Amino acid sequence: MAKDIGVPRLRDLLAAGAQLVEVLPPKEYAQAHLPGAINLPLGSLREPHVSVLERDRPVIVYCWDSL
């Protein structure tokens, strides 16, 4: 279930091993993204693309204009 989180919670989740996913197209990802984020454009959030994610770790999904 999706929910908004603030920066302090984001830091806690990342420190605990969460995966960070940027959903903008590759060109925008290349221009700017958070450190450690992987790029999975919104239109590709289905198999086989999401197989790069580890199912036992939380996933944080964002786009730059949501920060």
Cα within 13 Å of Cα(34), Cβ side: 20
Q: How far is CA 23 from CA 7, 9, 43, 56, in A?
A: 18, 20, 8, 20
20/52 Cα distance (integer angstroms): 12
39/30 Cα distance (integer angstroms): 9
- Tens of pLDDT, residue by residue, the chain (67 residues): 778 888 999 999 999 999 999 999 999 999 989 999 999 998 888 788 888 999 999 999 998 665 4
